[in-house]
Structures are given as C-alpha cells and as structure tokens.
Amino acid sequence: MQLLHISSIVMRWGCALVGLFAMSAPVRADLLEDIDAANRAYARGQYSEALDGYRSAQVEIPEAPELRYNIGGALYADSAFQEAVAAFDSALAITSDDSNRARILHNKGNALFRQDDFGGAAEAYKQSLRHDPTQDDTKYNLELALSKLQEQEQQQQQQSDENQDQENQQDQSEQEQEQQQEPQQQQDENQQEQQPNTDQNEQNQDQQQQQQSGKMSPEDARRILEAIRDNERDVQKQARLRMMKQQTKTYVGNPW
C-alpha cells in the first residue's frame, strides 16, 4: 500500500513570530506559552486540545499565517479534511514566502487527496512545486495523485459504459415486448373488423329463417295491405263508372 508523504504539519513558534510582529503588535509572553502548549498537545496526538489553543491565540493575533496553518494541520490530523482545506486557503491568502506557500500547498493537496479529489490534489502539488521544486515528497505525492486520478476516471468510464449497456438492454427488452404485442393487437383489430360482417350474416340468416318458416316480416305485411287497399279503390271506381252509364241510357227528356 502506498502512503502519502506528509510534510511536518505544525510550524514551531519562536523568535520568528516575535520578530514578525515586533514592529506592530508585540506578542505577550503568556500568549507564546499558550501556543507552545497547543504545539505540545498536537505532538501528543490531542488534536482537539491543540485546535482550541490555536484558535484561542488567533483571537489575539488573527492575521498570523502560522496560526491559520497550524489550525489547518490540527483539523487535518483530526480527519476534518474539508475544513483543513479552508484553513490552508486562509493561510495562503496572507502568506507570501515561497517556502511557506510550498508547505501549505503540499498539505492542502494531502487534504484534497483524503477526500478522493485527486484532480484537486494534483493541482495543489503542482503549485507547491512551483514555489519549491526540490520537494521530493511533493513529487511523489503528485505521481500518486495522477495515478489515482487515472484509475478513478477509468472506473467512472466503466460505470458509464455499464449504465449505457443497461439502458440498451432495457430498450431492447421494450422493443421485443412491443413486437410481441403487435400480432395480438392485429388479431384483435381483425376480430373487430369481422364483427360487423358477422352481425350482417346473422341478420340475413334471421330473414331467411323467417321466410322459410312462413312468417311475414312487417315490411311484407305493409306492402300487402297497401296492395289490398289499391285493389279496393279500383273496384269502387269501376262500380261508379257502371252506375253512371246506366243513368245515361234511361234518361228521358224533351228534344230541343
């Protein structure tokens, strides 16, 4: 198993800090003792106690980049990697020394690496090497981050291909189901089309059965009744004509 090469997290305090603030804000002796106590707590692995000490000192000297860096180190050691990245960025914002920036960026890369952000980690290591190209630990970590990044991208591509295969299989299954349903739908449509013909055939069969059994349909009865009525009118008309002829033959009158 390959391990990250981690630079020294805690920056020891001493004359450099006093000299840094000597002209503007001298650091009290009791504050230096509190910072040293936080360093000792960190060395014992008591990271929460160390973090409390650094943050307490930060209230007095909020613009000290060393304190922000040490806060990031304590957070990193306590596995609070996302908060550690923010603390390292805060330290970078007020740090101009190349050596310190290189160290901060190295440890920011470590915090990003622990979050599986291998691309971000590689970028942080590259920036660190720009400030100090001699860091062998940073070079090693950069190679490891790039290797992990390639592995991660391959896994993501494999997962994407598997998802695509599943989608294709699902689409194929749906198409097969549709193809299986089409013959049944066609059969149902054919049955529906045949239904009117079946009804007409049944109606014709009913009429034929009525004719064969001697039963008269309502339409036939109506036609016969009209024919009888017409015949009666013809008989009455002929009777009136005969009566008129008889009256003409028996008429007696004076000639004019």
pLDDT band at 198 (very low <50, low <70, confident <90, very high): low
- What pLDDT does residue 213 have? 55
pLDDT band at 20 (very low <50, low <70, confident <90, very high): very low
**Residue 70 and residue 54 in contact, taking contact as beta carbons nearer than 8 Å:** yes
**Residue 145 and residue 120 in contact, taking contact as beta carbons nearer than 8 Å:** no
DSSP character at residue 160: H
CATH number of the domain at 7-95, out of 1.10.10.10, 1.10.150.120, 1.25.40.10, 3.30.230.10? 1.25.40.10
Per-residue DSSP letters for 191-242? HHHHHHHHHHHHHHHHHHHHHHTTPPPHHHHHHHHHHHHHHHHHHHHHHHHH
- What pLDDT does residue 25 have? 47
| Helix, strand, or coil (residue 2) | coil
pLDDT band at 42 (very low <50, low <70, confident <90, very high): very high
Query: Residue 197: is its pLDDT beyond 80?
Result: no
pTM value?
Answer: 0.58
**Residue 38 and residue 57 in contact, taking contact as beta carbons nearer than 8 Å:** yes
pLDDT band at 222 (very low <50, low <70, confident <90, very high): confident
Provide CB contacts within 8 A for 43, sequence distance 6+.
10
DSSP character at residue 135: -
As a whole number, the mean pLDDT across the chain is 79
> What is the location of CATH 1.25.40.10 in the chain?
7-95
Radius of gyration (Cα) for the chain, nearest Å?
55
